[in-house]
A = this chain, B = another copy of it.
Amino acid sequence: MSTITDVARVAGVSVATVSRALRGLDRVSPETRQRVLDVAEELHYVASPTATSLASGRTRVVAVVAPFLTRWFFATLVSAIEKELRSRGHHAILFDLEDDTYDQRLPLTQNMLWKRVDGLITLNVPMEPDEVALVDRLGLPLVAIGSSVPGRPCVRIDDRTTMRTAVQHLIDLGHERIGYIGDVPRNVAHVQTPQDRLDAFRATMAAAGLPVVEEWILGSDWTAEAAARDGAGLLRLDPRPTAVVAASDEMAIGVRESARGLGLRVPEDFSVIGIDDYVLSGVLGLTTVRQDVAAQGRAAARLLLAALLEGDEGSDEVVMPTELVVRSSTGPVPA
């Protein structure tokens, strides 16, 4: 493969001129520029990103940091981010912080970031104080999605409003005995989303003058499996709720399956609503409050690119709207 020196030699100019011509910098005569471009094309010249990075101090690489990669929400974000970055000449390097345990995760280290990336996007990862300090020390711009990082821009939905919409939908259908699934996991108490959603559930119930039954509030690890298992326990209680709000569609799907397994008809005997509009929710007829996950990824990538390319280091919050999507998993309270 040819280097900038080859191009310079063939074009009969210096490497400095090749560098300027190829990057479209000013102060190169049109004829010279054209000659350089022609030669570069002819030699299939592509600048070595590693040399460019060393010389310029910029890598054009962004770290995408996620607590899991396999779940729909995160995979959808990663895909949207990667495309947006690439359209502006940047690349995504991945850090999956998933550990073998549910409540633990790998820490962000200097090793992952230093001279490797120009900035980072965190996907719903609550940052530890020393991680925040590390990113500050390295002077890297950061955009958060979901779980916000102090002093940094954040793209998210309004978890409280979203949950209120879900609960209100059930209340509007006449339900009074409403259960909840998606309690805050014990050892990740610093995660904001589960906390906000549960708070909003309680607040909405209180505002409607409805009691919250503590034993109808379930934990589960935010997977459909756990929700199906826990949901079966919930629905065997007497009395049992006539409806359940799940903090995610995947959990809602699990609960609905457990209801069916117990012979309950959905929505005639039992209603369930989730949050997300998961990829299968339409096909499965799940009522949900939709969020546009890909749009959040694109917005975050654009914010980071603005910081990288234009030096626009805002600390704005971008709050994306959510909307109720009524399908067939919810219905009027049974008589």
Contacts and interface: CB of A to CB of B under 8 A. Distances in A.
Which of A44, A72, A284 neighbours the largest number of chain B CB atoms within 10 Å of its CB? Answer: A284
Interface string A175-191: 00000000000000000
A44 B86 CA distance: 32
A78 B79 CA distance: 11
A114 B254 contact: no
A320 interface: no
Given A1-B138, A69-B78, A111 B279 contact: no
Interface in A273-306: 279-280, 282-285
A46 B98 CA distance: 23
A249 B86 CA distance: 31
A70 B69 contact: no
A91 interface: yes
A125 to B, nearest CB: 15
A213 to B, nearest CB: 25
A114 B224 contact: no
B224 A115 contact: no
Contacts of A96: 79, 82-83, 86
A280 B82 contact: no
Contact of A283 (B79, B110, B257, B279): B257
A179 to B, nearest CB: 18
Contact of A76 (B70, B82, B91, B110): B70
A230 interface: no
Contacts of A79: 68-70, 96, 98
A250 to B, nearest CB: 8
B92 A279 contact: no
A116 B70 contact: no
A61 interface: yes
Interface string A92-133: 111110100000000000110011100000000000000000
A114 B44 CA distance: 11
Contact of A280 (B50, B53, B91, B280): B280
Nearest to A48: B115
Contacts of A69: 75, 78-79, 82
A50 B48 contact: no
